A and B are shown apart, each in its own frame.
Chain A
Amino acid sequence: MSHISYEEWEPVIGLEIHAQLKTRSKIFARSPNRFGDEPNTNIEVVDTGQPGALPVLNKEAVEIAVRFGCAVNAQIAEFSKFDRKSYFYPDSPRNFQITQFDMPIVIGGEVIADVEGKSKTFAIHHAHLEDDAGMLKHFSDFAGVDYNRAGVPLLEIVSEPCMSSPADATAFATTLKAIMEYLDVSDCNMEEGSMRIDTNVSVRPKGDKTLRNKVEIKNLNSFSYMEMGIESEIRRQIRAYTERPHEDPNVVVPSSTVRLDLDKKETILMRSKEEARDYRYFPEPDLPPIILTKEYIEKVKRDLPELPHERFKRYISDLKLTEYNASILVNDKQLSDYYEEALKVCKNASALCNWVTVEFVGRFKDSGTPLYKSGILPEHIAALVSFIDSKKITGRIAKEVADIMAKTPGRDPEIIIKENPNFQAVHDTSAIEPFVDEVLGANQQSIEDFRNGKDKAFNFLVGQVMKLSKGKASPDVVKELIVKKIS
């Protein structure tokens, strides 16, 4: 096989993200919009396709779409409409979906995301409302259909084909996910299916401005699978074009739909263009168009909550967090909200950030439980940090207290410290001095090193004293004593 020069090609990637909206009832039916209930218990006549049952639009779904559009600086269509999209499948109660084909509610828009340290702007083509299908559950030799999910509102967000790497795609999707979490419009949970991503991939010779046929990868249910699928598909297409350089590109890579085979870690053909479905879109006669006033749109814009990039700015400028720390927090809204709860009690933003995102999150990494679901109260972490600041305990002891808090979530650190007199910091110079003397006596070399300018040696000495005192000695007093004795 001839050598394949991957670097001579540039990938062109677009994403279609389906987000289930957090409304209380479905988009066209009045049944509850809830996940996880017994099959067919959240249904009514509209979402089971009963003859004579008609769709009526949920105003909250409209408002959410407008909110999203405002948050991504898109144009909100003052006039948009619904269309029928026909196809037969058991999870479809009517064998047509109600969607927005040519006049969507949100047009354009952009998302700014951080990709490997660089800030990139990704353009959105449009976003539209549609209804979700039910669920098929597969068994040995039959399948069961559950219509609980049928009719749940979906916001489909279609990007421009403006991404050029799997990392771009993940950055775009992560930022979009964060925006939707901040707007509180979707759970964006890929495992539960409240966020689903289809990816469109094509490649072209570097520098070429034309677009070749795109291949759609469907149903990727995690960011890592998405990256895997994109990577695999890019390579497959480059190989194909390289191996058949004199043929019509349209024939070499036809428009098609593939899925990611997780075992082979490859993309496999599902549908070729010839088998492409004719959806026969036409305007939905049962629904009037959506007509929005400028006043309505302005009001939604004014009422937007704080968005991720705004919170990021605030963390940098007001709280003086580093960009790295700020983005860790901002990208996980629940964690960030948790942090802000703690911030109400303790104002030491950066120390608190460290304790929340490193110390405590770290202690729950293996269990897989997010910190904000662990049962540990944010006020308690805040209290712990203030105890360190007020020198009630040392940093080292605080870690032990943290261990206990992690094992018995909900326990007040103040009580934990009270119950363990050993935890309380010792400031008494006379109590600490013997430890200092012992360490200094045993580490002449370190004293020499420090006098020669090696600051690390000093820290080593401090550390040794802390060890001897089982972490209880106040580090400030230790440092003072050492300095006094060495000089």
Chain B
Amino acid sequence: MTKLDKETLIDLTKLCRINCSEEELETLLSNLQSILGYIDQMEEVDTEGVPVCNHVSEEMESVTREDEPDQSLDRKTFLDNSPSHVGGMIRVPTVIKF
């Protein structure tokens, strides 16, 4: 199976938006390669024609709820947890407009 290389690892950090130092990248690379090497044994299992398991619960039914509005979070509580807010909105630096 694929061996994870540094370039792919760096791409991954960009995808999941976590900045990593050079040191961290070295440790991560080595750990992940070792873990992926171990995971490789999955190849031995014949899964031809086997359906994927999306939900494990045998009891799971199609669950829906009534269309009843119920406001349960007031703005103050929401904003009190935020690092920065203005005018009732969460504040972020300028974003490139599409």
Question: Which range holds the interface residue count of chain B?
Answer: 20 to 34
Please tell me if the beta carbons of B95 and A90 are within 8 angstroms of each other in the complex: yes
Please tell me if the beta carbons of B70 and A25 are within 8 angstroms of each other in the complex: yes
Please tell me if the beta carbons of B70 and A30 are within 8 angstroms of each other in the complex: yes
Q: Which of B70, B71, B94 contacts A143 (CB 8 A)?
A: B94
Please tell me if the beta carbons of A57 and B54 are within 8 angstroms of each other in the complex: no
Task: Give the distance in Å from the alpha carbon of A56 to the alpha carbon of B70 in the complex.
Answer: 13
Please tell me if the beta carbons of B15 and A278 are within 8 angstroms of each other in the complex: yes
Of residues 24 to 56 in A, which have CB atoms within 8 Å of B's CB atoms?
24-25, 30-33, 38-45, 48, 50, 56
Task: Give the distance in Å from the alpha carbon of A25 to the alpha carbon of B70 in the complex.
Answer: 8
Please tell me if the beta carbons of B94 and A43 are within 8 angstroms of each other in the complex: no
Known contacts A44-B71, A81-B54, A145-B92: does B64 contact A58 (CB below 8 Å)?
Answer: yes
- The size of the chain A interface, using a CB distance under 8 A, is 51
Task: Give the distance in Å from the alpha carbon of A45 to the alpha carbon of B81 in the complex.
Answer: 12
Taking CB atoms, residues of chain B closer than 8 Å to A44 are 70-73
Task: Give the distance in Å from the alpha carbon of A24 to the alpha carbon of B61 in the complex.
Answer: 24
Of residues 50 to 79 in B, which have CB atoms within 8 Å of A's CB atoms?
52, 54-55, 60-73, 75, 78-79
Please tell me if the beta carbons of B95 and A43 are within 8 angstroms of each other in the complex: no
Taking CB atoms, residues of chain B closer than 8 Å to A278 are 15
Among the interface residues B88, B90, B93, which one has the most CB atoms of the partner chain A within 10 A?
B90
Known contacts A30-B70, A33-B69: does B87 contact A288 (CB below 8 Å)?
Answer: no
Q: Which of A25, A31, A138, A289 contacts B62 (CB 8 A)?
A: A289
Taking CB atoms, residues of chain B closer than 8 Å to A61 are 67
Known contacts A40-B88, A142-B91, A289-B62: does B54 contact A283 (CB below 8 Å)?
Answer: yes
Taking CB atoms, residues of chain B closer than 8 Å to A457 are none
Known contacts A59-B65, A259-B98, A278-B15: does B73 contact A142 (CB below 8 Å)?
Answer: no
In chain B, what residue has the closest Cβ to A135? B89
Taking CB atoms, residues of chain A closer than 8 Å to B69 are 24-25, 30-33
Please tell me if the beta carbons of B94 and A142 are within 8 angstroms of each other in the complex: yes
Taking CB atoms, residues of chain A closer than 8 Å to B63 are 56-57, 287-288
Please tell me if A270 contacts chain B, counting CB pairs below 8 Å: yes
Known contacts A40-B79, A40-B89: does B65 contact A23 (CB below 8 Å)?
Answer: no
Cross-chain pair count, CB within 8 angstroms: 127
Known contacts A24-B69, A25-B69, A43-B78: does B89 contact A145 (CB below 8 Å)?
Answer: yes
Taking CB atoms, residues of chain A closer than 8 Å to B15 are 278, 280
Known contacts A30-B72, A39-B87, A142-B86: does B92 contact A59 (CB below 8 Å)?
Answer: no
Taking CB atoms, residues of chain B closer than 8 Å to A114 are none
Please tell me if A131 contacts chain B, counting CB pairs below 8 Å: no
Known contacts A23-B67, A138-B97: does B91 contact A48 (CB below 8 Å)?
Answer: no
In chain A, what residue has the closest Cβ to B67? A60
Taking CB atoms, residues of chain B closer than 8 Å to A248 are none
Please tell me if A290 contacts chain B, counting CB pairs below 8 Å: yes
Please tell me if the beta carbons of B79 and A285 are within 8 angstroms of each other in the complex: no
Task: Give the distance in Å from the alpha carbon of A283 to the alpha carbon of B91 in the complex.
Answer: 32
Please tell me if the beta carbons of B89 and A57 are within 8 angstroms of each other in the complex: no
Please tell me if A183 contacts chain B, counting CB pairs below 8 Å: no
Please tell me if A439 contacts chain B, counting CB pairs below 8 Å: no
B46 to chain A, nearest CB (A): 23
Task: Give the distance in Å from the alpha carbon of A30 to the alpha carbon of B69 in the complex.
Answer: 5
Task: Give the distance in Å from the alpha carbon of A165 to the alpha carbon of B46 in the complex.
Answer: 50
Known contacts A31-B69, A57-B64: does B92 contact A143 (CB below 8 Å)?
Answer: yes
Please tell me if the beta carbons of B73 and A45 are within 8 angstroms of each other in the complex: yes
Among the interface residues B63, B71, B87, B89, which one has the most CB atoms of the partner chain A within 10 A?
B89
Among the interface residues B17, B64, B72, B75, which one has the most CB atoms of the partner chain A within 10 A?
B64
A64 to chain B, nearest CB (A): 10
Taking CB atoms, residues of chain B closer than 8 Å to A25 are 67-70
Q: Which of B54, B55, B60, B73 contacts A43 (CB 8 A)?
A: B73
B81 to chain A, nearest CB (A): 9
Taking CB atoms, residues of chain B closer than 8 Å to A147 are 90
Taking CB atoms, residues of chain B closer than 8 Å to A288 are 55, 60-63
A329 to chain B, nearest CB (A): 31
Taking CB atoms, residues of chain B closer than 8 Å to A24 are 67-69
Please tell me if the beta carbons of A141 and B94 are within 8 angstroms of each other in the complex: yes
Please tell me if the beta carbons of A59 and B66 are within 8 angstroms of each other in the complex: yes
Of residues 128 to 186 in A, which have CB atoms within 8 Å of B's CB atoms?
136-138, 141-147
Task: Give the distance in Å from the alpha carbon of A45 to the alpha carbon of B63 in the complex.
Answer: 19
Known contacts A57-B63, A144-B87: does B17 contact A30 (CB below 8 Å)?
Answer: no
In chain A, what residue has the closest Cβ to B73? A44
Please tell me if the beta carbons of B98 and A218 are within 8 angstroms of each other in the complex: yes
Please tell me if A251 contacts chain B, counting CB pairs below 8 Å: no
Task: Give the distance in Å from the alpha carbon of A425 to the alpha carbon of B60 in the complex.
Answer: 75
Please tell me if the beta carbons of B98 and A30 are within 8 angstroms of each other in the complex: no
Taking CB atoms, residues of chain A closer than 8 Å to B70 are 25, 30-31, 44
Please tell me if A291 contacts chain B, counting CB pairs below 8 Å: yes
Known contacts A41-B75, A45-B73: does B65 contact A30 (CB below 8 Å)?
Answer: yes
Taking CB atoms, residues of chain B closer than 8 Å to A39 are 75, 87-89
Please tell me if the beta carbons of A58 and B71 are within 8 angstroms of each other in the complex: no
Please tell me if the beta carbons of B55 and A285 are within 8 angstroms of each other in the complex: yes
Task: Give the distance in Å from the alpha carbon of A219 to the alpha carbon of B97 in the complex.
Answer: 12
10 closest A-B pairs by CB: A144-B89, A60-B67, A59-B64, A32-B69, A291-B62, A25-B69, A145-B90, A39-B88, A283-B54, A44-B72
